[in-house]
Structure 1
Amino acid sequence: MKRRLIVSACAALAAALSAMPSHAAQTTLVVDDNGAQCPGAGFTSIQAAVNAAIPGSTIRVCPGTYNEVVTVNKANLQLVGPRTPADCTQPGAPNPATDAIVQADNAAGGVVNLVENGIRFQRFTVQNNTLGPGVFTGASFSGHGVQQNLVQNNVLGVYFNSDGATDSTVTRNCIRQNNQAGAASGNGIYSDLGLSDADIVQNAFFDNDSSALVLTGGAPGAVDAVDIDTNTSQQDGSLLAVFNSTDTRVRGNTVRNGTGSAIFVGNDNTALQILSNNITGSGRGVRTSIDFGGGPSSNVRITSNVISGSTSTDGISVGPNSLTGSFISSNLAFNNPRDGIRVDAGGNAGNQITGNVLRNNAEHDCHDDTVGAGTAGTANTWRSNAGLTENRPGLCRGTPS
């Protein structure tokens, strides 16, 4: 009898479940603007699919042109387009027969807006916002994943913000020619609302007039635990301008033919690491400065970078009152039009400049204008640097190899 009751109960439960709406049927939604590539698609608009989706769904978008602002406000959605990577330095019009092209003007935000946690957005072309960014990520959320997209011809490319609760990423995108007039124009990736626990990795940046990346905020620590690794920057204003950061790393990036400082270290950075970057043909290589206000950066490591052929001044330059208690070590700087390493007068004290190889720099390989109890009457320690020319005897020792 007990067994019969159990079987009856199970049958009743199964009947009840079968009468309920099926969320499983909604876990993958398909979008096609005109039904040409995906005749069975349930939606012609990306936003309509987002509105119909439940959290955790996948939205597959077929090739076409989508003239709409997309606001993704449901957690853990995945939006996947068909785009395949191409050479980022060869701009051309995207093909709606093979690419999912999302474009619109939106003064209030991006063409695509990620305003919930855990959203993945990948393999799209996002373009032509003359009023703002291509992609916007909300600062009150995290777990964003912006991957393998082409972001071009907007005021700025990706407006990247995160609260840091979980890791957010911008990876393997082509971000180019985001130079429309407007606020923060000319930047590939821009952040000023707070960015924490984020990775910016393996992206290609091309011809963004201001900078590939600008990371800043209203107070020290606004940028925290961000890794900027193995990106390429060609013909951008800079690879990076960073302000108010803590525990941030810039490693293994390649910069070619930038117009300004390849890596610009602004005010109030702490425990910033600039490691193993290869910089050729920029205005300057690495520059620390407080020209925009704020205090000096400290505990910065500028190590194992190769910097050559700067077009304006120095390989590594420390502007007045901008760097204390930091390390400049094991760098190679050559064929720059002024100095290999230059430290300007002012409060640049307690820095250790060691083991660098400096050669064929037009004015000095080693240059330090500070005054103190350090090497050669400077306020810093210079040790084991190979170079031939110096503004004070004792800064460079030995023959550059």
Structure 2
Amino acid sequence: MSACAVAAVAFSALPSNAAQTTLVVDDDGAQCPNADFTSIQAAVTAASAGSTISVCPGTYNEVVTVNKPNLTLVGPRTPSTCTQPTTPNPTTEAIIQADNPAGGVVNLLENGIRFIRFTVQNNTLGAGIVTSATFSGHRVLQNVVQNNVQGVYFNANGTTASAVDQNCIRQNNQPGSAGGNGVYSDLGLSNATIRQNTFYQNDSSAIVLTGLAPGAVNNVGIDVNRSQEDGSLLAVFNSTGTKVRSNTARNNTGSAIFVGNDNTGLEILSNNISGSARGVRTSTDFGGGPNTNLRISSNTITNSTNTDGISAGPNSLDNSVISSNTATNNLRDGIRIELGGNSGNRILSNTLRNNAEHDCHDDTVGTGTAGTANTWLANSGVTENRPGLC
């Protein structure tokens, strides 16, 4: 089957979106000799809203700015193995690469744009893919995003759902502002999913979600992603109603899930963490107020190499639930609540075993269990810093 036919089949398998026109791009005419354009940007400029741009294999040394609504850009394929990087193949992949001091290699600057099955790489001055906080309905699907300052700079206003799904996002470690992050957001992200991606060796974090004030991150789902050898799977600040579910984190160099300041209603559920420096940690080390009404439940955290399975730093966690987690073989404590604030929490029905210092540890002072400021109930552990916690 020809590369053009592959691209056509790939598009036909996508959900229908009433494309008005299909424009074909080939950089050298080798795979698609009847292509309309040799440049992706030229095709975008010529396209009308709702059109499809089918890009054939090749190397596209250009900045692409998509500023028309409901365009679909689809490439031929991307490699299936993310954690074993190889040199991209321009005879089978559509590779977009450029330095762009003003933004990304690819910039999605309108509503409802779909960007599917490309390799985006080598921006030493910024992100691979940028989505604008002024718009929504972005869909970034099945791409390889590598060797940029940041992988995907993901912002959206939430009018319609946006998604970064099923991508390979790896080794985005070029020096620069917010460098070393796979997905980064700081201008506002609402009504969005980050789902079924593989992250590999992003030195700072696979995902960082933050903003200037509480609620800047709202109603975001972070589900079924895999992080391997990243700084963290996730660092999240200023969020409301965000859910972190069924992710896998392996060998993170920092906290697998770092919960910074002013998160409300955050749910961290059914994640599997192994071999990271720390498991799940709440902290206000960067300023701001405590996290409230969190639910940290049904996670499995093993073999933390630096400190704890689950920990709350000073003044970082109030009126929250830590329940039904398994924390074993961690270098310090299974669950650790540090002195300073951290009151009104319920630590319930956790299984804690073979942690080097304590399975159950609480330094707070109050009218709760064993003189702490929290309630500990039905936890299964052996070692504790105060009788009655396990």
Partner of 1:121: 115
Q: Is the 8 A contact 2:56 2:94 kept in 1?
A: yes
Counterpart check, 1:144 vs 2:138:
yes
SS in 2 for 1:393: coil
Q: Is the 8 A contact 2:19 2:50 kept in 1?
A: no
The aligned runs of 1:310-349 (5 Å cut-off) are: 310-349=304-343
Partner of 2:180: 186
SS in 2 for 1:390: coil
Partner of 2:210: 216
Q: Is the 8 A contact 1:175 1:205 kept in 2?
A: yes
By how many angstroms is 1:260 displaced? 0.2
Counterpart check, 1:227 vs 2:229:
no
SS in 2 for 1:95: coil
Aligned match for 1:249, one of 243, 260, 274: 243
Query: How has the CA–CA distance of structure 1 residues 325 and 26 changed in structure 2, closer, same or farther, with 3 Å as cutoff?
Result: closer
Query: How has the CA–CA distance of structure 1 residues 66 and 380 changed in structure 2, closer, same or farther, with 3 Å as cutoff?
Result: same
Counterpart check, 1:273 vs 2:267:
yes
By how many angstroms is 1:92 displaced? 1.1
Partner of 1:199: 193
Partner of 2:361: 367
Q: Is the 8 A contact 2:20 2:50 kept in 1?
A: no
SS in 1 for 2:199: strand
Q: Deviations over 1:174-204 (max 9, x none)?
A: 0000000000110000000000000000000
Q: Is the 8 A contact 1:26 1:53 kept in 2?
A: no
By how many angstroms is 1:289 displaced? 0.1
Q: 1: CA distance between counterparts of 2:105 and 2:72?
A: 17
SS in 2 for 1:376: helix
By how many angstroms is 1:84 displaced? 3.3
Q: Is the 8 A contact 1:301 1:326 kept in 2?
A: yes
Q: Is the 8 A contact 2:214 2:239 kept in 1?
A: yes
Q: Is the 8 A contact 1:132 1:155 kept in 2?
A: yes
By how many angstroms is 1:374 displaced? 0.2
Give the share of equivalent positions with the same residue, in percent: 76
Counterpart check, 1:355 vs 2:337:
no
By how many angstroms is 1:25 displaced? 11
Q: 1: CA distance between counterparts of 2:236 and 2:20?
A: 43
Partner of 2:386: 392
For structure 1, the residue ranges without an aligned partner over 5 or more in a row are: 1-23, 397-401
Q: 2: CA distance between counterparts of 1:188 and 1:84?
A: 17
Query: How has the CA–CA distance of structure 1 residues 25 and 85 changed in structure 2, closer, same or farther, with 3 Å as cutoff?
Result: closer
By how many angstroms is 1:68 displaced? 0.2
Aligned match for 2:288, one of 277, 294, 297: 294
Q: 2: CA distance between counterparts of 1:67 and 1:192?
A: 28
One-letter identity of the residue aligned with 2:325: N
One-letter identity of the residue aligned with 1:87: T
SS in 1 for 2:389: coil
Q: 2: CA distance between counterparts of 1:336 and 1:307?
A: 8
Runs of 4+ in 1 over 6 A off after TM superposition: none
SS in 2 for 1:290: coil
Partner of 1:14: none
Q: Is the 8 A contact 2:260 2:286 kept in 1?
A: yes
Q: Is the 8 A contact 2:62 2:96 kept in 1?
A: yes
SS in 2 for 1:47: helix
Counterpart check, 1:27 vs 2:21:
yes
One-letter identity of the residue aligned with 1:206: Y
Q: 2: CA distance between counterparts of 1:305 and 1:297?
A: 19
One-letter identity of the residue aligned with 1:375: T
TM-score between the two structures when normalised by the length of structure 1 = 0.92
One-letter identity of the residue aligned with 2:63: V
Q: 1: CA distance between counterparts of 2:81 and 2:50?
A: 32
By how many angstroms is 1:56 displaced? 0.1
Partner of 1:5: none
SS in 2 for 1:50: helix
Counterpart check, 1:64 vs 2:54:
no
One-letter identity of the residue aligned with 1:202: Q
Query: How has the CA–CA distance of structure 1 residues 148 and 306 changed in structure 2, closer, same or farther, with 3 Å as cutoff?
Result: same
For structure 2, the residue ranges without an aligned partner over 5 or more in a row are: 1-17
One-letter identity of the residue aligned with 1:117: N
Q: 2: CA distance between counterparts of 1:148 and 1:45?
A: 21
Q: Is the 8 A contact 1:85 1:148 kept in 2?
A: no
Q: Is the 8 A contact 1:188 1:213 kept in 2?
A: yes
Q: 2: CA distance between counterparts of 1:156 and 1:93?
A: 19
Query: How has the CA–CA distance of structure 1 residues 38 and 354 changed in structure 2, closer, same or farther, with 3 Å as cutoff?
Result: same
SS in 2 for 1:86: coil
By how many angstroms is 1:86 displaced? 1.5
Partner of 1:103: 97
Q: Deviations over 1:41-76 (max 9, x none)?
A: 000000000000000000000000000000000000
Q: 2: CA distance between counterparts of 1:26 and 1:364?
A: 63
Structure with max Cα Rg: 1
Aligned match for 1:90, one of 80, 84, 109: 84
Q: 1: CA distance between counterparts of 2:76 and 2:229?
A: 28
SS in 1 for 2:137: coil
